[in-house]
Amino acid sequence: MIKLAMYFKRRTDGRFYKSLYISGNFIFVAFAMAWVIFRLYWYPCKLLYATLYGGVYLGPQDGKFMPLLGVMLILIYGMNVYWFNFIIRMVWRVASTGEDPEDNREYDTTAVSGLDQQKLDLIAAKKTKSRKKKE
């Protein structure tokens, strides 16, 4: 939803839809708050506690895979903290610079290839023309 709102806020004919811009920002803030509440607070409070404490002291004493389960759940929590780092960095960048939020994980062909966007567009147009000729 966030990406759709950000992509559709400005059309190719130049029209700007402020409602999509505002709803995209609102959805992103709601996403960040939900991440904190559910993945950084409730996950360790409920699931990790129940698995680590309950599995060791209250559960069956012959559970062979309980330590492995606990380690894997802790690794997932570590990944949640790591991903939250990206969310916070994005919020900070948008708040401090005022630029539009964009996904840093997307593949940037200009940075990888060293070619500017016009040359990349020409290459893509040539490839589509050659494909049409083959058909």
Q: Identify whether the C-beta of residue 9 lies closer than 8 Å to the C-beta of residue 24.
A: yes
pLDDT at 114: 60
Q: In a structure prediction context, what are the per-residue pLDDT tens digits for the chain, which is 135 residues long?
A: 566 666 666 666 777 777 777 777 788 888 889 999 999 999 999 888 888 887 777 767 677 777 788 889 999 999 999 999 988 888 888 778 766 666 555 555 555 456 666 776 787 788 777 766 666
Q: Where are the domains of the chain?
A: 2-104, 108-135
Distance of CA 88 to the CA centre of its chain: 11
pTM higher than 0.75, yes or no? no
Please give the torsion angle defined by the CA atoms of residues 13, 16, 19 and 20, in that order, rounded to the nearest 10 degrees. Answer: 60
Please give the torsion angle defined by the CA atoms of residues 99, 104, 110 and 116, in that order, rounded to the nearest 10 degrees. Answer: -10
Q: Identify whether the C-beta of residue 94 lies closer than 8 Å to the C-beta of residue 39.
A: no
